[in-house]
Amino acid sequence: MYLTKKHLSRRTVLKGAGISVGLPLLDAMIPAATALAQTAAAPKLRAGFFYIPHGAIMWNTAHGAELDHWTPSGAGADFALSPILEPLEDYKHYLTSFANLENKAARNTVHTTVPATWLSGLAPDQGVRGASMSATIDQIIAGHIGQDTALPSLEIASETTIQVAACSGGGACYYSSTLSFRNAVSPLPMEFNPRKVFSQLFGEGDTPEEREAIANQTKSLLDLISERTHALQRSLSASDRAVLGEYLDTVREIERRVELAEQRDLSAIDVPEAPIGELDSFDEQVRLMFDLIALAYQADLTRVASYIMVAEGTNRTYNHIGVPDAFHPLSHHANNIDRLHKLVRIQRYHVERFADFVAKLAATPDGEGTLLDNAMLLYGSNMSNSDRHNNYPLPTILVGGGAGTLEGGKHIELPERTTLANLHLTVLNKAGLELPSYADSTGEIAGA
């Protein structure tokens, strides 16, 4: 509880010389005898979507349940993590695993639409030129919780995601190279250069001084554009004013984002030096991308992130964990035991890096809890048995406290072939959307 002598509106601004300056959260803005959860200091949800290609080794190889290295044993709260998921043992009480999920939208598409349909649950219309699908759940959530941050959402990858040979004609390139669609026709690129990601978050420049100077230049240019376009507007016809009005709306949105970026308080954030670019070490690249997401969450620069941890159809090798084989060819394991065990090592490696990220969130205070308490992290693949390119059952876990909306520590056995869109709907509504349905959903998942 907070007690103050007077109450200022959270929207109070300082006005003068034609400008308005927002204020940080002050004690005087919190009404007397008001619980923290009812104030502007209430926990802020962070949503994350972490994609791995080529499925996981589950019960649907020729070796059956004996070789299932993904699915936890037991059900409900009485469950034990599998060898692949074991790195998350310390955070098991934040973790919910789901059995028997299926995404029909990706059926019979090999690799071409598997990434994009993971968060859409809707098969794209490949009969048209260009992209034609739907908004993905990360972008729907960003529209709901991401408008008060400098970046509504962050889309990144550990390597360039244009990997699939089928990326020719129609919208195939869009569907195989991104998780995120802002709307039906607007796929969002996944940035794999950590320097560019750093610049998105903290601005151009290697030092704080350089970044401040560049930001000031950008602001001056935007002010100049705004003044000139307003003057021009008075002399234009109605139709031209409408066109110019749309342009000004875009400029105003950019200015709003710049102002949000300038108001961010990074004094408590240990901002690293700007990265040189894409790293030679894949392991270091994966770690750095996770660190950038954690920093973005901590500084509240964005509340929604989507991350392709390795590209669909990649020929990436994993020499650093003793697997020199290229990932995509290896994924066509033909039920060979040696190849299956190598795939398990790759899949566990990615969970290990994700677990490091989860640990970092758990160690970072956020309000009355931690970033992990306020996070909702979906981790998994839109493929099951990579040798068959099938989409049932999908390896899927949900991690975090969801700002009080999630209770982990369980494995949920769903009815066979439960649509993945039921989990989509559950995640959307826990983020505050209150939607009746999504894609081919039949209802929310009870107990998630």
Tell me, what's the pLDDT at 23?
Answer: 37
Tell me, what's the pLDDT at 18?
Answer: 40
Handedness of CA 216, 219, 224, 227 (dihedral sign): negative
Query: d(Cα 354, Cα 286) in Å, to the nearest integer?
Result: 9
Alpha helices in 264-371 (DSSP H): 282-298, 327-331, 337-362
Tell me, what's the pLDDT at 265?
Answer: 60
Burial of 373 (0-12, 13-18, 19+ CB in 10 A): buried
Contact 346, 386 (CB under 8 A): no
Task: Decide yes or no: CATH 1.10.260 for domain 44-201+274-430.
Answer: no
Does pTM top 0.75 for this prediction? yes
- With H, G, I as helix, E, B as strand and everything else as coil, classify residue 34: strand
- Give Dmax (Cα) for the chain: 76
Tell me, what's the pLDDT at 233?
Answer: 64
Q: Which DSSP string do the residues of 352-375 spell out, in sequence order? A: HHHHHHHHHHHTSEETTEETTTTE
Query: d(Cα 50, Cα 164) in Å, to the nearest integer?
Result: 19
For the chain, 448 residues long, give each residue's pLDDT as a single digit of tens: 333 334 445 444 334 334 333 333 344 445 555 554 445 557 899 999 999 999 999 999 999 999 999 999 988 888 999 999 999 999 999 999 999 999 999 887 778 789 999 999 999 987 788 788 999 999 999 999 998 888 999 999 999 765 444 444 455 577 888 999 999 989 998 998 888 888 888 765 555 555 455 445 444 444 544 555 566 667 777 776 775 666 456 545 545 544 554 555 666 666 666 666 677 789 999 998 999 999 889 888 899 999 999 999 899 999 999 999 999 999 999 999 999 999 999 999 999 999 999 999 999 999 889 999 999 999 999 999 999 999 999 999 999 999 999 999 999 999 999 999 999 999 999 999 999 999 999 999 999 9
Tell me, what's the pLDDT at 228?
Answer: 59
The verdict on whether omega for the bond into residue 393 sits within 30 degrees of 0, i.e. cis, is yes
Query: d(Cα 152, Cα 253) in Å, to the nearest integer?
Result: 12
Tell me, what's the pLDDT at 137?
Answer: 98
Burial of 25 (0-12, 13-18, 19+ CB in 10 A): exposed
Tell me, what's the pLDDT at 35?
Answer: 52
